[in-house]
Amino acid sequence: MWIKHKSRYLLLAMAVTTSVVNANALTQESLQAFFEQWSPALCVLKFTQAAIDPRTGEEQQQQGSAVAVVVSPDGLLMSNGYLQRENVTTSNFRVVVLRDGEETEYKATLLEKPKDVNISFLRIKSDAPLNLPSVRFTRNSRLGLGEEVAILGVMSETMDFQPTLSVARVSAILESPRITYCLDTPLKLGSVTGPVINDKGEVVGVTGFELSSTEGGDLYTRSGVPMVFQTELFIPYVDSPPGESAEEEEGGEEAWLGVFTQPLKEDYAEYWGIDPPGGLIVSTVMPGSSAEAAGFQPGDIIRVFDGQPIQATLDRDVLDFTQMIRGKQPGAAVTVELLRGGAPLTLQVTLGVRPRSAQEAGEYTDETLGLVVREITQDLRTVLNLGEDVQGVIVRRVISGSPAHVARMQPGVIVMSIDNTPVTSVEDYEKGSDAIRAAKPAEVSIFARAGAATGFFRVRPRW
């Protein structure tokens, strides 16, 4: 049951820092007004998530929920970016909205995730035109140190996802790599991506956690500090929703260097005698990548990329490097200045095309044997330390009680042949599976690799 928009139902979690004085402090009356004005734009997003371990391919499903914000009357939603993560498949989206005093549930579609802000967008599915209450964001609005802001969110399922409002203060302002406002109050999950309102009643952004992506994969590092994502960071995606513009629909290849990196923090710089600190340490060079072809090595420190200094000292700074690469075209030739063993070195590199990740990999469900297999992507090869000579498909899931389960097959096993039919792709496996169903043998022999060992599994289908 949704909370009614009356004063006696308004829940306030006051976060007060007495050492900071704010002349424009929020009042009970203004909070009540802001709650009544903007909380109708909140809705509850329900979904199913299947988490996949890239080392084993094991999958575990669970039901989840999050706050979503209606940002366009026709049903465009914003929610937490954790809906779209590496090795996690999120599906079966349902949106519960309050309209004319009644709850209505819609299905929703997840749109392509922006590359420069950790926010997900969804579109409500409806045969009839929608005219939902929505948030109007204010652009170019600055917050001051110590300024109070109101944050909207929803409570947990045990509290019927009732809308709630809390108050926090701006505890720090970071000037680089972009202006970022830190908050002094921990965020509950129901308030992540919740609208942030200033004392004028303007929605100046949404809450979130700063996340950085390393080149070569979508590996995120949470700083743990609640922050305000300003309107300017995501408003272009509200104006032109991801996955709906002509450019997005056509799709496109992204430039790719093929390294995992970490920032050159002050303690590392001091240890290695590098002054000034700042740069990116190459931790992994992906096989077959442009970086490998150009001669990159683990331990290299990238200082300049295509004429632009790399001054990364924090985890979140890695995102800027990722976006710098993605801003190039595949095939672009760039110059990279780095340090190797303390000595300067310049490399010329031609950027490649970003390969598919494990989350994007094609897969096939073998209902006869009770297996789900998927292609071996480049990121899986890196994680599992598989050379290019290892060909096959990886078992992502073994259905409980199935013939494969009885034969003691496990997620992470690499199938290299099925009933003497070589397997180098999902298509090969599917053809082999079709042949088995046509022949209906009493036993199927699967040649596979488990860890460093190879051998056969004897699987007995149930015809």
Q: Tell me how far apart the alpha carbons of residues 430 and 365 are, in angstroms, rounded to a whole number.
A: 9
Identify whether the C-beta of residue 334 lies closer than 8 Å to the C-beta of residue 255: no
Domain at 255-353: CATH architecture: Roll (2.30)
Identify whether the C-beta of residue 91 lies closer than 8 Å to the C-beta of residue 224: no
Residue 168 pLDDT: 94
Residue 180 pLDDT: 80
Beta bridge partners of 152: 165
Identify whether the C-beta of residue 82 lies closer than 8 Å to the C-beta of residue 96: no
Residue 429 pLDDT: 95
Q: Pairing state of beta strands 163-174 and 12-14?
A: parallel
Identify whether the C-beta of residue 216 lies closer than 8 Å to the C-beta of residue 286: yes
Q: What is the 3-state secondary structure (H, E, C) of 177-245?
A: CCCEEEECCCCCHHHCCCEEECCCCCEEEEEEEEEEECCCCCCEEEEEEEEEEEHHHHHHHHHCCCCCC
Is the fold of 255-353 the same as that of 358-459?
Answer: yes
Which residues, other chains included, contact 174 with Cβ-Cβ below 8 Å and sequence gap of 6+? 180, 181, 182
Task: Tell me the average confidence (pLDDT) per consecutive run of 10 residues in the chain, 463 residues long.
Answer: 36 37 72 94 87 54 86 92 72 81 84 83 87 91 92 84 91 76 84 92 87 35 70 89 52 78 88 88 87 94 94 76 83 94 94 72 86 82 76 87 92 91 92 93 93 90 91
pTM, 2 dp: 0.51
The one-letter amino acid at 144: G
Q: Which of 438, 399, 398 is nearest to 415 (CA)?
A: 398
Residue 133 pLDDT: 92
Domain at 358-459: CATH architecture: Roll (2.30)
Reduce the DSSP state of residue 274 to 3 states and report it. coil
Q: Tell me how far apart the alpha carbons of residues 5 and 317 are, in angstroms, rounded to a whole number.
A: 41
**H/E segment holding residue 49:** strand 42-52
What residue spans define the domains of the chain? 1-250, 255-353, 358-459
1.10.150.120, 3.40.50.1360, 2.40.10.120, 3.40.50.410: which CATH number matches 1-250? 2.40.10.120
